[in-house]
Structure formats: structure tokens, C-alpha cells
Amino acid sequence: MADRLVLALAQLNPVVGDIAGNCSKLTAAWREAAQKGADLVVTTELFITGYPPEDFARKPCLLKDVQDAVRGLARETASGPALLLGAPWQEEEKIYNTALLLDGGEIAAKVFKYDLPNYGPFDEKRVYDPAPLQMPVDWRGHRLGILVCEDMWTPEAAAHLQKNGAQILIVPNGSPFAMGKQQQRYALARDRVAETGLPLVYINQWGGQDELVFEGASFAMDATGEIRAQAKAWSDELALTSWNINDGRLEPKTTTVATLPENEEAVYHALITGVRDYVSKNGFSQVILGLSGGVDSALVAAVAVDALGADNVRMVMMPSPYTSQESLDDAAAVAKGLGCRLTTLSITPAMEAFEQILAAKFAGCPSDTTEENIQSRCRGVILMAMANKGNALVLATGNKSEMATGYATLYGDMCGGYAPLKDVYKTLVYLLALWRNRKKPEGALGPEGMVIPEHVLIKAPTAELKPNQTDQDSLPPYNVLDAILESLIEKDFGTADIVKQGYDLDTVRRVWQMLDRGEYKRRQSPPGPKVTAKHLSRDRRYPITNRYREE
């Protein structure tokens, strides 16, 4: 037996359903690893189908295509390194979330996922069959303990592998991004390492898939819990890790330890990834968005340009009689700073047309939010029409604070194919804008320097649907609103718990009511990338029709 082992971590960006394309990416990575002397190439959970395949994983035709593709990959391994990959796999009448070891031209071993997550964005119990605890895999004189994603998050599977002679824990993952998630992964990995005394390799996919984004950030950890290799986040990487073999123990050498983005920088990368991959993986090349002169649309514009390039981002300013000159100037400054052309189309003729159409029906009725919503819906119609003509995707510009409280117009400013800020509270919108003005992210296609004018950041937020309107006419101050919403959504606190934190009872009740009553709007909102612990659509499932009222 050799006294040295090289494990290659193939951190790649799969496309759900593109079995041939995913196999091609993996084959290219495997061949590169072979040239660099790798003994084993490890990639991510359900890589062959892309993650998560959701109910696709139960389609007989897909399962057959997967098995054919895996056997084709296995033939590649007749010589060279072995390959460990993830795929949905049918055994008799059961379908498992499976890690497959390919070596010597055949499928050498199958490891089935034991712990199926059924919370937040995961509903694997409806898709896969649970497996019993799995045994280590014998491979070229070594015993590999393979934990498929969630199997690392609880102690049972790792303890079982260690008890049965595993020398290393290898963890293929599809773990979505959320703020602070990487530190949680490190902590859980250290728990498993401390419990078993075994080193651990963690390999995570990266890229965007609908409302989930994945940052990669794969790593290798020694038996003391120290990080010995750290792959970059938000990019393809083939990370080679070298291991010494001493008395049957595998000990990783320190290789490249990348510095990972944190806080606003990490969230900004998540937004870029979500936009770029949602647009490109769905066959679009261009996006269109409405610029209001406010911070939300300015931030969405910056993210879109960083993700797709200025030539692929179209901006439209749609003034009404209530639009201020400063909003017109601010929108023009945003477009100029990002290098995009701005089209200006007044909605006044559309407002007048609707007023005439509805005059008889509205006779004697005072003006209210009805007329305000018509303005927003006029803008939505214009954006969708321009997108249809140009085969572009509309980006909605609403943030999580608005989505949560229902402070948005259904079929108006909520219309669009993707909502980059859907999981970004208003207070975080400002922090992201300030961060982007200070630093251009690695790989971003937008310009250097201040891309969101200072005036946009300091003026009072307003929808400008009536004279002298500001958001704070209808909502509590955003620092108060967001703190209450975070307690209600992320922490599931009740009214009394939040009041104990020092917030006004009437304000808390009002916010709770807005959150509850806005559910029907959120069901019809566009998808957007998950960046917090609890996404309004992916993680929070409440009935629209309900009569529960918290006392």
C-alpha cells in the first residue's frame, strides 16, 4: 500500500435535469485530476441530476437515464482515479439518495443516505426511501466512511462508521447558502471529528437553483478539527488534498486554505449567483427592471450588471405625475454609473385611460389605494410587454420587508420572473449597497467604485404613488420593522416574547397582522434567492385561509 493518497474535491455547478451536461463537467474534472495524480475524485450530492431534483427523482425515465449515465462514467474509471458521485438510484422498488463509488470500470460500491431531512427547504422524505446505517466502503486497501449530507449533521451515522473501521469521513453535500451557514458546517464537522477521532472531507456544490444558492466552500479537516484545505466559495474548483498514511491513519497535509467572503460580501455573491444562474439556466440572456430612483431598484440593477454585464441589463424609468425630479435624476445617475441605457416611459396616459374606463364605476368614491395600485400595475404591464418583445426576464425589485408585510402591489411591482431581494430585509439592502460602493466583488462584470449614488442612500424611501408619500406613512421605521419581522419569521417568537424585548405592543400586533394577511400575495410572488435562515416561500409554509389570531 502506498504511504500517500491524493483526494480531489470536484466543486462544480450542475444544472438540474442536464444529465449529459453534468456528466461532461464531471468527466473533464476527473481527467484533470487524473493528470494531477489524484487517486480518488469526490463530487457532490445528487450531482448527476443536479441538486435538488425534487420529484424528478421518482420519474422512471429519469432513473433509467441516470443509471445509463453512471455506467458510462464507470467505464471511464477502468484506469486512473476512482470517482465518488451522487445520484438518485433505484434498488428494486425503492429509490435512494445515493453516493456511488466508481472504480476499475464498474460501480464498486453504493452508499445510501440514512438521515433524510424534512425541514426548511428540504422534503426528502416525500422523494426518497430511508436506508439503514451504512457500512464503510473498502477501496484500494482503505475503508471510507461516506456520509451523504444530512448524515453528517447528526452523530449516529458517523459513530456507526467509526465503530466498523472507517479511516476517514467523506461528506458529499448539497448544502444551500444562508448567512453564517459555513460556521455551522465547521462546528458540526468538528463535532463528528471529535466524536470519532477521524479526519473529514466536506465537498459542497455551488451555483443557483431556483430559490436556493450554494457557495461551495469545500474543505478538509484533520482529526483535531483543524482546517487543512479550504476551497474557494462561489466558483468551480478542483481542490487537490494530499494525505499521509501512518499506521493505517489518514492525515491531511496543509494545502491551499482560501479566505471565504463573509457578511455582506457573502450575501452579495449569493445574489449575483442567484441572478446569473436563474437567468442563464432558464435560457435567457437579458433582464429588464424598473428604476424608481430608490435604493431597492438601484441595488437590483447593480447586482444584475455584476452578474450579467451592462449590455444585458435594460432599465426603464416610468414616471407618474407624482414622480419627483430628484427620483428622475437619481434613476439616471444609477443607470449612468452602471453603464446602462435608461428608457423613460411616462405612465400618465395609462393612468388617464384607466380613470376614464372606471369613471362611472368609481363615481362618488374617494381616491384611495385603488388608484395607487393602478399606477403600479401600469408599470408592471409595461415591463412585461417590453420583456416579451425582447425575450428578456423581468427582475422584481421588492425586498423581504415589503414581501413580509404585503407592502407591495400584486400584479404591479411584484410582477417579474425573479426577485433578487426577496429574502433581503430593507436594513440589509442599505448595508449591501454601502458594501458594493466600497468594493467590487471578484468576478463581477460591473464597474469599480461608487455605483449607487449617495443621494439614493440618504433620502427617505417612498413609492411616490401620491403627493409627499413615504414608506414610513404606512410602516414602522425599518430598523424596528425588520427586528420585529426577524423575531416573527426566523425565530417564530410570539407577540409577548417580542414585547419583552422592548418593542411597543401595538406596533408588534400591527406587524404580525400585516405578516399574516400578506400570505396570499407571497404565494403569487416570483422566486428569489435564499440568503437568511428562513426564506418566506421556501422555508415558511402557512395557510392563506386561517382564523388563528394570537392574543
- pLDDT of residue 76 exceeding 80: yes
Active site residue 113: yes
Mind listing the pLDDT tens digit for each residue in 26-59? 999 999 999 999 999 999 999 999 999 999 999 9
Mind listing the pLDDT tens digit for each residue in 470-493? 666 678 899 999 999 999 999 999
pLDDT for the residue numbered 2: 66
All three cell numbers of 10: 470536484
pLDDT-based confidence at residue 402 (cuts at 50, 70, 90): very high
Mind listing the pLDDT tens digit for each residue in 272-318? 999 999 999 999 999 999 999 999 999 999 999 999 999 999 999 99
Mind listing the pLDDT tens digit for each residue in 343-363? 999 999 999 999 999 999 999
Among residues 76, 124, 149, 521, the one annotated as catalytic is 149
Mind listing the pLDDT tens digit for each residue in 85-138? 999 999 989 999 999 999 999 999 999 999 998 888 888 989 999 999 999 999
Among residues 23, 25, 113, 372, the one annotated as catalytic is 113
Mind listing the pLDDT tens digit for each residue in 503-526? 999 999 999 999 999 999 999 999
Among residues 25, 45, 232, 426, the one annotated as catalytic is 45
- Cβ burial 407-425 (10 Å sphere, 16+ → b, else e): bbbbebbbbbbbbbbbbbb
CATH 3.40.50.620 boundaries in the chain: 264-471
Q: What is the dihedral of CA 326, 330, 332, 338, to 10 degrees?
A: 180
Q: How far apart are the first and last CA of the chain?
A: 69
Establish whether the linkage from the previous residue to 52 is cis, with ω within 30° of 0: yes
State the chain's mean pLDDT as an integer: 93
Active site residue 124: no
Element (H, E) at 9: strand 4-11
Task: Cite the DSSP H helix spans in 391-477.
Answer: 400-405, 426-438, 454-458
Q: What is the DSSP letter of 452?
A: S
In this structure, which topology does domain 264-471 adopt according to CATH?
Answer: Rossmann fold (3.40.50)
pLDDT-based confidence at residue 462 (cuts at 50, 70, 90): low
- Second-level CATH architecture of 4-260: 4-Layer Sandwich (3.60)
All three cell numbers of 412: 404591479
